[in-house]
Amino acid sequence: MNMKNYRMTIQYDGTKYNGWQRQGNTANTIQGKLESILEKMTGHKVEIHGSGRTDKGVHAKGQVASFKINTQKSDGEIKDYLNCYLPDDIAVIDLTEADERFHARLNVKRKTYIYRIHNSNVPDVFSHRFMHSVADFIDVEPMKIASKLFLGEHDFAGFSSVKNFKKSTVRTVYSIGVERFGDDVVIAVTGNGFLYNTVRIMAGTLLEIGLGKREAESIAKVFETKNRQMAGETLLGKGLTLLSVEY
Amino acid sequence: MNMKNYRMTIQYDGTKYNGWQRQGNTANTIQGKLESILEKMTGHKVEIHGSGRTDKGVHAKGQVASFKINTQKSDGEIKDYLNCYLPDDIAVIDLTEADERFHARLNVKRKTYIYRIHNSNVPDVFSHRFMHSVADFIDVEPMKIASKLFLGEHDFAGFSSVKNFKKSTVRTVYSIGVERFGDDVVIAVTGNGFLYNTVRIMAGTLLEIGLGKREAESIAKVFETKNRQMAGETLLGKGLTLLSVEY
């Protein structure tokens, strides 16, 4: 078979899904939906490699994935075929043939996530699916200052839900910002990679600082001690969106 | 009982509801949800008057309603009580005590609706609940020109799904606009009132003009003949949003 390698960019509203990664017989994952359509199209087994997993309820504006298939269809035809059979909450916004060595997970250079918090006791009825909701006033100024403690290379073991690591837990954060847009507080972070639940725990830690329940210095203590118990809570998946992946 | 009159502004994502108006025992309406919470709060029967009905699946950014209740609570406390018990897709964004003569339906001066069409074969995964979707290219230029034929006072009987009218079918359109924002085409219309399904039929008629399937002059013919069959199709409720109501 003449297998060609493809790269695609995917958007999804993760509300209804059990995350990105196919799990056994569970069809209700983003990866599973995409693979089953490509298998129907090609008539052969297809394995899609995402840039990384996103958890249950997490969204993506720019998830990237790669896969190899045997097809005579053009890039545009494959993209149209996918969008025709995908549900309304998953879309392939870009698809092109890639170098045969391109691998969406192994070649990642940088990933950017945003965590959105709606800071009001009045729900945002049009965007509540994509935001965590907090009624008490959040002061973003101490969050902005504290967020800079995440910059650079650190051991993020204390900011992960995983207990026993087999691989390195050192990661680099290139940029991080906290901004208020009206009633919404948005945390954006770019790094070379993130451990399991790390962005949600970073957001939870910063939120506690914004609510006056925690000192900025505690972030340095979590890095030192690698103690998960000293970091903030893991915020809900619904507030998290994988914004982009760079290669 | 010392009944006070209140005015409130409500937002909702209408996707899951059978429209605004309470229907017999059907609990799944916006009006029904609001009334049952106010009845729980006050202990007496409450009737809410909306500015008008919105159909199944139609959304609102600024629906206005009035109601009379007997309560010691402040305006802010009533608003908080409602938002506390309302689901995430309905929110009261403003609530104040009003003059006892204020009636949200009878006192309407102007209403503004928007109809949104996503013009792409790639779904907008974050906003598809609020937009009708059309893959073929829509040319907004002829729509802009044709839309002006709706301006002023006309008999809209041909632009309504109702067959036998008991009251006047003459309405005035004060302004109408058609704009493209990237892949989205938005029709905005302000008038002193609209008949049943009128905005959706106006949007359907303009869409056919934008797709090159209909001439602008046909709008004048529908006004002349009052013949529903000569107008365009009734577009889906999901694309319609009641933007604001003026008094």
> A with B: how many residue pairs have Cβ under 8 Å apart?
56
H or E stretch covering A221: helix A218-225
Averaged pLDDT score across all residues of chain B: 96
User: Tell me, what's the pLDDT at A34?
Assistant: 97
First to last CA, chain B: 28
Give CA–CA dist A45/A193, Å, rounded.
29
User: Tell me, what's the pLDDT at A25?
Assistant: 65
pLDDT in tens, A178-201: 999 999 999 999 999 999 999 999
| DSSP 8-state assignment for residue A169 | -
CA angle B187, B239, A124 (to 5 degrees): 105
Averaged pLDDT score across all residues of chain A: 96
Residue A26: band (very low, low, confident or very high) from pLDDT cuts 50, 70, 90: low
Is A93 in Cβ contact with B122 (below 8 Å)? yes
First to last CA, chain A: 28
H or E stretch covering B117: strand B110-119
Please give, one letter per residue, the 3-state secondary structure of A129-143.
HHCEECCCCCCHHHH
Compare all CA atoms of chain B with the CA of A92 and give the residue at the minimum distance: B122
User: Hey, is A185 helix, strand or coil?
Assistant: strand
Mean pLDDT of the A105-115 span = 98
pLDDT in tens, B123-169: 999 999 999 999 999 999 999 999 999 999 999 999 998 888 889 99
From A57, A15, A242, select the one nearest B128 (Cα to Cα): A15
Is A130 in Cβ contact with B83 (below 8 Å)? no
Q: Name chain A contacts of B128, Cβ cutoff 8 Å.
A: 88-89
Give CA–CA dist A8/A48, Å, rounded.
10
Minimal C-alpha gap between A34 and chain B (Å)? 15
In this structure, what token pair is assigned to residue A217?
């210095």
From B90, B114, B179, select the one nearest B143 (Cα to Cα): B179
User: Is B127 buried (19+), middle (13-18) or exposed (0-12) by CB count in 10 A?
Assistant: middle
- Which phi and psi (to 5°) does residue A13 adopt? -90, 105
Instruction: State the ipTM, two decimals.
Output: 0.88
Mean pLDDT of the B223-232 span = 96
Residues 109-148 of B with CB under 8 A from A: 121-126, 128, 130
pLDDT in tens, B73-86: 999 999 999 999 99
Is A84 in Cβ contact with B121 (below 8 Å)? yes
Q: Name chain B contacts of A61, Cβ cutoff 8 Å.
A: 126
Q: Closest partner residue to B12 among A90, A125, A130, by Cβ?
A: A125
User: Hey, is A245 helix, strand or coil?
Assistant: strand
Is B83 in Cβ contact with A12 (below 8 Å)? no
pLDDT beyond 80 at B26: no
Fold agreement between A4-97 and A110-246:
yes
- Which phi and psi (to 5°) does residue B33 adopt? -60, -45
**In the annotation, is B94 catalytic?**
no
Q: Name chain A contacts of B130, Cβ cutoff 8 Å.
A: 126
pLDDT in tens, A40-71: 999 999 999 999 999 999 999 999 999 999 99
pLDDT in tens, B101-119: 999 999 999 999 999 999 9
Is A89 in Cβ contact with B13 (below 8 Å)? no
In chain A, domain spans: 4-97, 110-246
pLDDT in tens, A68-95: 999 999 999 999 999 999 999 999 999 9
Which residues partner with A191 through β-bridges?
Answer: A111, A173
Q: How far is CA B26 from CA B46, B49, B112, in A?
A: 16, 17, 28
A185 touches chain B (CB under 8 A): no
Minimal C-alpha gap between B205 and chain A (Å)? 25
Q: Closest partner residue to B125 among A84, A89, A126, by Cβ?
A: A89
* Domain B110-246 CATH (choose: 2.30.130.10, 3.30.70.660, 3.90.550.10, 3.40.1390.10): 3.30.70.660
Does the CA dihedral B169-B201-B93-B88 come out positive or negative? positive
Is B83 in Cβ contact with A124 (below 8 Å)? no
Q: Let me know: does B131 contact B120? Beta carbons within 8 Å.
A: no
Q: Name chain A contacts of B11, Cβ cutoff 8 Å.
A: 125-126
pLDDT beyond 70 at B188: yes
Return all residues near B128 (Cβ < 8 A) that are at least 6 apart: A88, A89, B118
From A132, A145, A61, select the one nearest B88 (Cα to Cα): A132
| DSSP 8-state assignment for residue B55 | -
User: Tell me, what's the pLDDT at A22?
Assistant: 87
Residues 91-110 of A with CB under 8 A from B: 91-93
pLDDT beyond 80 at A24: no
Q: Closest partner residue to B91 among A11, A92, A122, by Cβ?
A: A122
User: Is A152 buried (19+), middle (13-18) or exposed (0-12) by CB count in 10 A?
Assistant: exposed
Q: Let me know: does B16 contact B89? Beta carbons within 8 Å.
A: yes
Give CA–CA dist B68/B7, Å, rounded.
9
Minimal C-alpha gap between B226 and chain A (Å)? 37
Q: Let me know: does B240 contact B111? Beta carbons within 8 Å.
A: no
Domain B4-97: which topology? Alpha-Beta Plaits (3.30.70)
* CA A68 from centre of chain: 23
A198-210 vs A140-147: helix crossing angle, rounded to 10:
130
Residue B224: band (very low, low, confident or very high) from pLDDT cuts 50, 70, 90: very high
B75-85 vs B30-42: helix crossing angle, rounded to 10:
120
Give CA–CA dist A63/A20, Å, rounded.
10
B17 touches chain A (CB under 8 A): no
Q: Closest partner residue to B130 among A12, A122, A126, by Cβ?
A: A126
